[in-house]
């Protein structure tokens, strides 16, 4: 569900006077008011764009940061090509598949794949999350350390099912799906994001249709990330799965990836 729930009110805010023009541009683009009562705010600050729940008990803001924090730590110490996600999409010696991440969210998995050398297209259908992702990619492109990684990432905003059905150009070798809710990860960070995004995203009730569209487009395989004990997505059955402590990758192979 890409539309806001009817009772969710969000406004645009600039966190410094000199950012007011930029905030107005985002507000116009996303159709957000610059004032009035709201439960949430999309804020433009010195560190970029962030989404925050308003109120005394609310958790802190969420923004996309590919330069520092958890994403940087995973890039440096996450295990490289030995990570389960790398094995799931078929990364091996001499093999760096072209990947379409059709449920991009905040782009963490796509960034991992790009940092390992894959060209990655990302699709995000929720406009607010898409804005956070776009802003994060722009800031990362200006950082010498990660600019080369995000240069391998291309963001497409819209409905993934429609975009895959009307795909132009060479088909992605691998399509990666990670329906956002219910989320397998119970870390404090993900709990905060779940609380913040659920009113905007809802549940991924169209996962079977998404899988069907992916299977029609991918040339080599489709990979679906699931909670470890969750049932497979309705429809075609995976060929095999890779299982970790909390999550699982269901793999639908079509053709062998070769160097």
Q: What are phi and psi of 89, to 5 degrees?
A: -85, -5
Q: How many CB atoms are located within 10 Å of the residue 6 CB? A: 6
The C-alpha atoms of residue 28 and residue 214 are separated, in whole angstroms, by 33
Q: Is 108 annotated as a binding residue?
A: yes
In 88-190, beta strands by DSSP E: 99-101, 120-124, 153-157, 174-177
CA dihedral 71, 120, 201, 65 (to 10 degrees): 30
Task: Check whether 29 is labelled as a binding-site residue.
Answer: no
Tell whether 109 is in a known binding site: yes
Inter-axis angle of helices 108-115 and 69-77, to 10 degrees?
Answer: 30
Q: Is the Cβ–Cβ distance between 51 and 196 less than 8 Å?
A: yes
Q: Find all residues with CB under 8 Å of 168, minimum gap 6, and list them.
A: none
Distance from CA of residue 140 to its chain's centroid?
Answer: 15
Q: What are phi and psi of 240, to 5 degrees?
A: -165, 175
Residues annotated within the binding site are: 108-109, 124-125, 178
Residues annotated within the binding site for S-adenosyl-L-methionine are: 108-109, 124-125, 178
């Amino acid at each position: 569900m890409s539309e806001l729930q009817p009772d969710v009110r969000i406004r645009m805010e600039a966190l410094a006077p000199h950012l007011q023009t930029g905030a107005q541009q985002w507000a116009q683009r996303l159709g957000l008011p610059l004032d009035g009562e709201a439960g949430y705010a999309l804020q433009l600050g010195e560190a970029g764009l962030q989404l925050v729940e308003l109120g005394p008990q609310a958790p802190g803001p969420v923004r996309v940061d590919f330069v520092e924090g958890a994403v940087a730590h995973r890039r440096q110490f996450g295990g490289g090509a030995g990570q389960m996600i790398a094995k799931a999409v078929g990364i091996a010696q001499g093999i760096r598949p072209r990947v379409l991440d059709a449920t991009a969210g905040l782009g963490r998995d796509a960034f991992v794949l790009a940092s390992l050398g894959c060209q990655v297209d990302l699709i995000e259908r929720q406009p607010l999350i898409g804005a956070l992702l776009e802003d994060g990619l722009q800031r990362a492109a200006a950082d010498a350390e990660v600019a080369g990684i995000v240069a391998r990432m291309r963001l497409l905003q819209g409905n993934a099912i429609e975009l895959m059905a009307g795909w132009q150009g060479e088909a992605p070798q691998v399509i990666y799906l990670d329906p956002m809710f219910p989320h397998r990860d119970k870390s404090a960070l993900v709990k905060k994001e779940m609380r913040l995004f659920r009113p905007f995203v809802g549940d991924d009730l169209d996962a079977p249709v998404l899988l069907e569209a992916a299977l029609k487009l991918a040339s080599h395989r489709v990979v679906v990330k699931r909670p470890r004990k969750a049932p497979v997505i309705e429809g075609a059955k995976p060929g095999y799965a890779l299982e970790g402590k909390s999550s699982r990758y269901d793999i639908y192979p079509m053709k062998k990836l070769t160097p």
